[in-house]
Structure 1
Amino acid sequence: MKKLEINLDETDLSILRLLQEDARITNVALANQLKMAPSAMLERVRKLEEKGVIRGYSAAIDPLTIDKELLVFIFIKTKDSFANDKSARALAAIPQVMEVHHIAGEDCYLVKARLSGPLELMELKRSRFSKISNIVSMRTTIVLETVKESAHISIE
């Protein structure tokens, strides 16, 4: 991932903090909290979106309410060369896969997936992962309890 050369001032960082706390905050409420005009705030947020600093907005869903109780991390080793991301793209295209990370060490990728249970995990491995020809091995870690899970990035 290439580092973006974007200069963010304290106002930009404050906007990002507030949006991470509540992505549904209105433009007017955001402007009031930072003592700015709503039109200026709208322009600031629009520029942060255009620059790719703000990549999108989403709802945090309780996985238990939609029968996705099982959280797994799967370490995957592939035959891919370091420059080839064919396996990563294939993994990322699987709907149950939430994250794909290219990692250093013995394995090539770390995959995070949310599933309904062990049967869905087995089906995922049999019907989806087995079709990715470059996979050499997989090691699965099942999460017993989540102490903290957050998409928020600490903004100092």
Structure 2
Amino acid sequence: MDIKRTIDDIDYQILQILQEKARIPNAEVARQVGMAPSAVLERIRKLEDRKIIQGYEVRLNPQPFNQGLTAFVQVTVQSSRRSDLPEALSQVTGVQDVHQVAGDDGYMLKLRVADNAELGRVLVDEICPLSGVLQTKTHIVLNTIKETRKIDLNRFSS
């Protein structure tokens, strides 16, 4: 999809506003872009229908929920891996992201768990036993400098 052909500058402004504060009232979005609230609401609905806006979510602090340890796990799989392996990996305790990666034949997982003991249990009891998993390589995050789901819209606006 050529994004420049499907949305205009006002859509970009709306997307930037919503990325900063998804719970902003529609009337405030309309005020900021200089349009009627009904027109802004219609634009937002069209952006949702076209899957440009995929959803809205709240960012929670993982610490109070006993998920303070973040780890990235590289999973190397057999080339004849089972087709349901990505779904099985996505169901593992603490998994937030599953990415199929180039290079080694496999996946990169992002997990949030309580501590090293829980991470070890997840690796031994949930990931390694999955059919098609050859090995794992784990990277434990010591400190997160930047973490975002925001898309850099400045690169695409006209």
TM-score, normalised to structure 2, is 0.90
Q: Does 1:92 align with 2:93?
A: no
Give unpaired runs (5+ residues) of structure 1: none
Q: Give 1:60's aligned amino acid.
A: R
Say what the alpha-carbon RMSD is for the aligned residues.
1.6
Shift of 1:95: 4.3
Give distance in 2, aligned partners of 1:5 and 1:138: 37
Give unpaired runs (5+ residues) of structure 2: none
For each residue in 1:109-132, what CA deviation from the matched residue of structure 2 results, as whole angstroms up to 9, or x when unmatched? 110001110111112112211331
Provide the residue aligned with 2:100 in structure 1: 102
Shift of 1:107: 4.3
For each residue in 1:5-29, what CA deviation from the matched residue of structure 2 results, as whole angstroms up to 9, or x when unmatched? 5511111111111100000001111
Shift of 1:152: 0.9
Quick one: which of 119, 142, 145 aligns to 2:143?
145
TM-score, normalised to structure 1, is 0.91
Provide the residue aligned with 1:118 in structure 2: 116
Shift of 1:108: 1.3
Q: Give 2:98's aligned amino acid.
A: V
Deviation larger for 127-136 or 39-48: 127-136
Give distance in 1, aligned partners of 2:115 and 2:40: 44
Matches within 5 A, 1:1-156: 4-6=1-3, 7-81=6-80, 85-156=83-154
Per the alignment, in what secondary structure is the counterpart of residue 39 of structure 1? helix
Per the alignment, in what secondary structure is the counterpart of residue 131 of structure 1? coil
Between the aligned residues of both structures, percent identity stands at 36
Shift of 1:87: 1.5
Per the alignment, in what secondary structure is the counterpart of residue 152 of structure 1? coil
